[in-house]
Each structure stands twice: as structure tokens, then as C-alpha cells.
Homo-oligomer: A and B are copies of this chain.
Amino acid sequence: MSNDVVNTKNSITDAGEVAPPDRCKSCRLRALDAFRNADTAEAKFIEGQRRERECFERGDVIVHEHERAKFIRTIYSGWAFRFKTLSDGRRQVLNFLLPGDIVGLQEQFSDASLHGVEALTSLSTCSFQPNTLWDMFGQHSRLAFGVTWIAAREEALIDENLLSVGRRSATERIGALYLHLYRRMRQLRLVDSQGWFECPITQTHIADALGLSLVHTQRSLRQLKKLGLYTRDNGKLRIENPRALERIAEYYEQPPRQMPLI
């Protein structure tokens, strides 16, 4: 393949992948309002700033907690998650990262990353030059606006998770999380016609994301399954009755986010 694939200890080549600019065209970022209407100059800028393609395997740590993060990345395919840990090992998953999400935006503004990022699946990312963000703000304000849009969207998403962890019961939390993942995957057109989508998270991840113990997560999960609200099969998840789950989880769909000014 092209020479922009990095082969470190943590990287693999992925023969099935496409090279830019086709890769940029099929990037899930394009599915978001923020970058749907990028013009050619903007696309050229992005492609020019692209540094290399990096691949990771499940379990690889992409960004280490408290370490300086080198550059900004976008997720081309695969899942990851952000997390923080306490000194005695307790871990909190902050949110899950899906294709089209940006990794390392927060870190552009501080010396060290205040959270870690770990791959949940085989992961393919694009990384960018260190000064990309700064240059983008100076030269392509629409793109910069889009990046800030992405940041605001991620914050809204963490707000929702905080509401869950703070005020929802265990089963409500799980229901809300499953609905949330379902909706995001649907938005990315990664839910098939049968309603199935890839969901590579284990019960441990759910527990860490929702502030629960593993054992209690398992019991709450079983309860929801007994109610017939979801089915899992071989790493795939299907929400059987979104409406019912919404009521149980106290988590109703919100109008899609828009880019009012573009």
C-alpha cells in the first residue's frame, strides 16, 4: 500500500483500506453537518495537512493519561474510548469514540492529556501536522467553526453521560447508553436493515462508563434482556424496542444538531 501507513509495534497495515483523497471522501466526518459542505480549497487543506495513517489493535493505548499528546487525529474506522483513572486503579470511561470523531482536540490546548484513549477494535486513524489546528483557524474559518462544533457536540454528549451516572438507576443507565450508541451508529449509517450494529464493548466497559461494578452491571443487563429490550449476538447489538427502552431509561431522542450558520 501507500507509504503513509505507519508500522510501529502498535500498528498494522490494512490492505483493504483506501488512500487519500478517496479516503477523505469516504471519511465519516463528511457525514456530519460540520463538514458536509467543505469546498475544494478546504478539502485540499485537510489532505495537505494529513500526516499519516495509523492503525491500532484492540487494547492499544492511543493516548496515555498525563502524557503529552503529539497530534490531532480523526477516526476513520473502528471504536475507541476516552478514560480517566484514579491512583488506586478505579477507572471511568468518559465516552466512546466512533468513526468521524476527533482524538486529541482537548490536548491541543494543554501540555498533557488529562485522559487516556484506548482502542476497542482494530482502528484506523488519520493524524495531522502539529500546527494543523492553528493554521486551520487562521486560514479556513469554516473548518475551524466545524471543529468547534464537534467539540460542543462531544461536550453535550458527556453532559448526558454525567446525567446518567449522577441521577439514573443502573438499568436506566444501561438503557440510555444502549440507546445512545444505537442512535449514533444509525446516524453514521452503521446500523443494518435488520437493526443490528457492531458493539464491541464488554460488560467491564459498560460498568466503567456508567460508574457501576461489574457484577451489578451484569445483573442489570440480564434484567433488560429478560424484558426483551435488546439482543446481543457475536459482538453485535440490536435494540428490540427503542420506544420502550426510551421510557425505561428516561432518555428521549433529541432533535438532530444543526449548523445554523452555514
Contact = CB atoms under 8 A, between A and B. Distances in A.
Interface in A147-167: 147-149, 151-156, 158-163, 165-167
Copies assembled: 2
Interface string A169-189: 000000000000000000000
A90 to B, nearest CB: 4
Given A141-B141, A166-B165, A167-B91, A108 B152 contact: yes
A115 B159 contact: yes
A109 B153 contact: yes
A162 B109 CA distance: 20
A92 B134 contact: no
A119 interface: no
A138 interface: yes
Nearest to A154: B155
A210 interface: yes
A165 B211 contact: yes
A244 B38 CA distance: 52
B131 A137 contact: no
A190 interface: no
A131 B261 contact: yes
A139 B151 CA distance: 21
B109 A167 contact: no
Given A144-B141, A255-B111, A259-B109, A162 B162 contact: yes
Interface stretch (A6-14, A80-88, A220-228, A235-243): A80-88
A90 B167 contact: yes
Given A106-B152, A112-B255, A152-B109, A161 B162 contact: yes
Nearest to A159: B94
A193 interface: no
Given A90-B168, A114-B159, A166-B211, 11 more contacts: A86-B168, A90-B167, A94-B163, A105-B152, A106-B156, A109-B153, A109-B259, A110-B152, A110-B258, A137-B144, A141-B144
